[in-house]
Structure 1
Amino acid sequence: MNWTLSWTEVLGFATGALCVWLVARQHIANWPVGIANNVFFIVLFTQAGLYADAGLQIVFIALAAYGWWSWTHGGGPGAAASLPVRRTTRAEWLLLAAAGAVAVLALTLLLDRATDSTVPFWDALTTGLSLAATYGQCRKLVESWWLWIAADLVYIPLYASKGLYLTAVLYVGFLALCVLGLIGWRRSLPAPDARTPAGAAA
């Protein structure tokens, strides 16, 4: 079991790092690579007792399919072939905040009462942040990088506390890649959008 877990963590490390690098470069291959990463992490997190994170990977696979379609079809019939980077609207922020708060509360209660999780709130919090960030990534919302940065700052000590040291190191790398991704995506913003008050950075 230890040998399997070790190789699962190594493969999760490799596919995860490649996926974030591809996202930062707006490369469409990030989606299939990300799906492979999700499969490795389902096994890894289940064995570590991080049940919300394990279940989150299944949701990520579904979101990856949507994101893959969204990036290649511009988000809908008749839309541009390539989805442009844009800023998150106020309405989207309100929706993400409300949905995230409900998700974190519900998951915290579920994990506390129905599992042997020792970190129900932190597991739920990273899940909520990651879901919001992934939705933003699917729609190429530049502020999705801020949500990933917030999630990574919690993930790093959480994984280290569970003995997943390689994964914790991976998330340190994710944090650096997220900063680079944020910078790169902000440079891709159309100049007029970048100057509007509604497009103020998070």
Structure 2
Amino acid sequence: MLQSLYDFWIAAAGSTPLEWVAVLTGVACVWLAARESLWNFPVAIVSCGLYIIVYHGARLYSDRNLQVVFILMSLYGWYEWLYGGARNTELKVSRTRPVEWVLLLIGVVLFTLGFGYYLQHYTDDSLPHWDSLTTAISLAAQYLMMRKRLENWWLWILVDALYVPILWHKELYPTSGLYAVYLVLATYGYLAWRRAEAKAAYAANESLTTS
């Protein structure tokens, strides 16, 4: 056990400064999202830009490409949170509709099988299907976050639990630790958003009662 911890700290200390900056901005991004702060989007863009370089070096090409998509989705999500509500107002926390779950499930399965096949046969990706699965779930979670759906945190918890051992296996120890922190932050985010949703529902009921 002590030897494992020693090996971890030696490897972590040898990680590039770029990866450490990506880790710190990644933590800040998720914490800000959990607080429903719009600042999560510009911080996410910075973090994703850094991880394009980190994941390329680790030969995790699906996750590298995912960062580009995340940047585009963050720009769109930024707009949605500001103007995606009723009459172009601020978007409120809501629940995922059944049809969204069905479409997301189909999308995750098709993406995992299709892109996993491509990575396995046409690239030197070291974990093609796991890489594709985590990418697919992350895209689904990011979509739900853009729409401020409460259940986006369920998917982040799932994908974070998968990323921890995958990134450890790839010797990206600081980033593996980052996803362990993400697990805690995603749980906090879910609880915070659930309280926000309950508060909004109570305010809406009060408004109907008094009108």
TM-score (norm. length: structure 2): 0.86
Shift of 1:172: 0.5
Report the counterpart of residue 95 of structure 1 in structure 2: 103
Shift of 1:190: 4.0
Q: Does 1:141 align with 2:130?
A: no
Which residue does 1:200 correspond to in 2? none
Aligned positions, number: 190
Bigger Cα Rg: 2
The aligned residue for residue 176 of structure 1 is: 184
User: How far does residue 106 in structure 1 lie from its aligned partner after superposition?
Assistant: 1.2
Q: Tell me the equivalent position of 1:198.
A: none
Task: Kindly provide the amino acid, as one letter, of the partner of residue 40 in structure 1.
Answer: L
Paired residues of 1:130 and 1:147 also in contact (CA < 8 A): yes
How many Å separate the matches in 2 of 1:145 and 1:134? 9
Aligned ranges 1:61-100 → 2 under 5 Å? 61-75=71-85, 78-79=87-88, 81-100=89-108
- Unpaired runs of at least 5, structure 1: 195-202
Runs of 4+ in structure 1 deviating by more than 6 angstroms, as ranges, are 191-194
| Contact 1:75 1:139 (C-alpha < 8 Å) held by counterparts | no
1:108 equivalenced with 2:113 (yes/no): no
Q: 1:18 aligns with which of 28, 42, 57?
A: 28
CA distance 1:120–1:176, shift in 2 (3 Å): same
TM-superposed CA distance for 1:193, in Å, is 6.3
Given that residues 15 and 174 in structure 2 are in contact (C-alpha distance below 8 angstroms), is that contact kept between their aligned partners in structure 1?
no
Per mean C-alpha deviation after superposition, the further-off stretch among 23-32 and 182-191 is 182-191
Aligned match of 1:48: 58
Structure 2 residue ranges without an equivalent (≥5): 1-12, 203-211
- Give 1:189's aligned residue: 197
- Whole-angstrom CA distance in 2 between matches of 1:23 and 1:99: 24
Give the CA RMSD over aligned residues. Answer: 1.9
Counterpart AA for 1:83: L
> Any idea what the Cα deviations from partners look like across 1:117-171, whole Å, max 9, x if unmatched?
1211110010001000000000000100000011001100000000000000011
Alignment identity in percent? 39
After TM superposition, give the deviation of residue 103 of structure 1 in Å.
1.0
Distance 1:191 1:168 in 2: 35
Residue 156 of structure 1 corresponds to: 164
Cα offset for 1:82? Answer: 1.1
State the SS of the aligned residue for 1:189. helix
1:132 match: 140
User: Are residues 24 and 191 of structure 1, via their aligned partners in 2, closer, same or farther at CA, if it must alter by over 3 Å?
Assistant: closer
